[in-house]
Structure 1
């Protein structure tokens, strides 16, 4: 799991948009989608998983501390 994947996931969750999150992170939308997909594969969870809401808050807290 890479920090950039966590930041990407948190940005998408906060912005509720891959396009806005990509703009915020200064990367392309396809690159952002790929990063989020890799993280989901590592976690074994998709966007609709109940784990996602909990993971978003944990990832936000981790990103703030780093």
Structure 2
């Protein structure tokens, strides 16, 4: 389970990077709504990444086991 969570973190970070690159590419060429949607996606991925990392860290400092 821990490996699965670490893999999901990597995939989320890759997707977040793609969105950030997209935002950089379109810059001011697109309307604000597309930039807001992309910003919302980045925030959502950040939240998920941080929560998953917190789960992995929690396992390190407690008796909680992700693999059980």
Q: Could you tell me the TM-score, scaled by structure 1's length?
A: 0.36
Of the two, which has the highest radius of gyration?
A: 2
